[in-house]
Structure 1
Amino acid sequence: MNISASPLPTVTVQEANERPPGTPLVDVREDDEWNDGHAPDAVSVPMSRISIDDIPEGRPVYCICRSGNRSGKVAEALIGAGVDAVNVEGGMIAWADAGLPVTR
């Protein structure tokens, strides 16, 4: 059993929207969810097909999904693989609720 003593790094949707230039926002939802609406500069990499090879090296990665559950699991796995990853708290539900831009 792998138990981590540190909590999963998270950011708010506002922090994700204002992340440093060049910092990827990886949307791990499936294609139909992506097509329903996503953050304008997000990159679609569905959780069911994600590979460490899909993740840019040398920079933090922000992970987002619908509510923050799946992206949290992806962020944990990426951290376990040595990637500097954070989870976007509340996902696209919180993003839209905050009035942030959504591309459809």
Structure 2
Amino acid sequence: MFGLFNRIPSISTKELKSKLNPKIVLLDVRTPAEYRSGHIAEARNLPLNRISTYHRPTTEPIYLICQSGARSKQAARLLTRQGYQVINVRGGMNQWSGPVRGGK
């Protein structure tokens, strides 16, 4: 097993809330339907099955979120291999208590 917890930095949803700003790179790796059901305003949807298509030059960290944290960990592994600095959001949208856009 890949030493995931040692290699992929992570933050809580509370920590993410304090970092949100218009310039943050926050990728929501859930399906488009999940994203439409409610997402963080600053998040861009890039489903896990398309994460390998991400090719944007950035020196900023990329924050990754999904529903529970499992898919974002997978995405983090893939983007780390491509040389990006990534940070996984532990607990995902299940733990998010801030405002969401979309949904019911």
TM-score (norm 1): 0.84
Match of 2:100 in 1: 102
Match of 1:42 in 2: 43
From the superposition, tell whether residues 81 and 4 of structure 1 become closer, same or farther in structure 2 (CA, over 3 Å).
Answer: farther
What is the aligned-residue RMSD (CA, Å)? 1.9
From the superposition, tell whether residues 10 and 80 of structure 1 become closer, same or farther in structure 2 (CA, over 3 Å).
Answer: same
1:45 and 1:12 mapped to 2: Cα distance? 20
- Percent of paired sites with the same residue: 33
Query: 1:52, CA displacement in angstroms?
Result: 3.0
1:23 and 1:15 mapped to 2: Cα distance? 13
Listed as ranges, the matches of 1:1-104 within 5 Å are 3-4=2-3, 6-19=6-19, 21=21, 22-50=23-51, 51-53=53-55, 55-95=56-96, 99-104=97-102
1:81 and 1:45 mapped to 2: Cα distance? 16
CA offset digits 1:30-49 (Å, max 9, x no partner): 11000110011111111112
Q: Which runs of 5+ in 2 are unaligned?
A: none
Q: Which runs of 5+ in 1 are unaligned?
A: none
3-state DSSP class of the match of 2:35?
helix
1:39 and 1:71 mapped to 2: Cα distance? 15
Residues paired across the two proteins, number? 99
Query: 1:19, CA displacement in angstroms?
Result: 1.6
- Which runs of 4 or more aligned residues in structure 1 lie more than 3 Å from their structure 2 counterparts after TM superposition? 2-5
| Residues 8 and 86, structure 2, Cα contact 8 Å, conserved in 1 | no
TM-score (norm 2): 0.84
| Residues 27 and 45, structure 2, Cα contact 8 Å, conserved in 1 | yes
